[in-house]
A = this chain, B = another copy of it.
């Protein structure tokens, strides 16, 4: 199967698929004409990667998860550890974003947003140096 069809079936852009080959996340075969030739198992892998990425896992996490997936002797504790750590990072990000949101929304509400130059947002950003 050529990259175009694989792209449609996996939902990943061809560029991304080539990139994943570059960094050895997939290893498609090659046809005589030099085209990549994907097996069903490659598509399976790519879809796996797509979903892991959609959950925000880093490429390195994805590599680890793929490895565990293919390792019949894995312990689910290993998978859970990776996922828990990632979950904690997500929570951190959410916390940080919420704090930004808090501050920013207050400022936005306080700003008249009219033709006059006075602006609590700028005032806050330039407060005490």
Could you mark each residue 78-96 of chain A with 1 if its beta carbon is under 8 Å from any beta carbon of chain B, else 0?
Answer: 0111011011001101100
Interface size of A in residues (CB-CB distance below 8 Å): 58
Known contacts A90-B100, A91-B101, A117-B72: does B111 contact A80 (CB below 8 Å)? yes
Distance, CA A89 to CA B72, complexed state (A): 42
Is residue A22 within 8 Å, beta carbon to beta carbon, of the partner chain?
no
- Which residues of the other chain, B, contact A48 by a CB distance below 8 angstroms? 125-126
Q: Assembly of this chain: how many copies? A: 2
Residue of B nearest to A82 (CB): B121
Stretch at the interface among A13-21, A29-37, A49-57: A49-57
A80 and B108 contact, CB distance less than 8 A: yes
Distance, CA A81 to CA B105, complexed state (A): 12
- Which residues of the other chain, B, contact A24 by a CB distance below 8 angstroms? none
Q: Which residues of A, 63-116, contact B by the 8 Å Cβ criterion?
A: 65, 68-69, 71-77, 79-81, 83-84, 86-87, 90-91, 93-94, 97-98, 100-101, 103-105, 107-108, 111-116
B56 and A84 contact, CB distance less than 8 A: no
What is the minimal beta-carbon distance from A65 to any residue of chain B, in angstroms? 7
Residue of B nearest to A76 (CB): B119
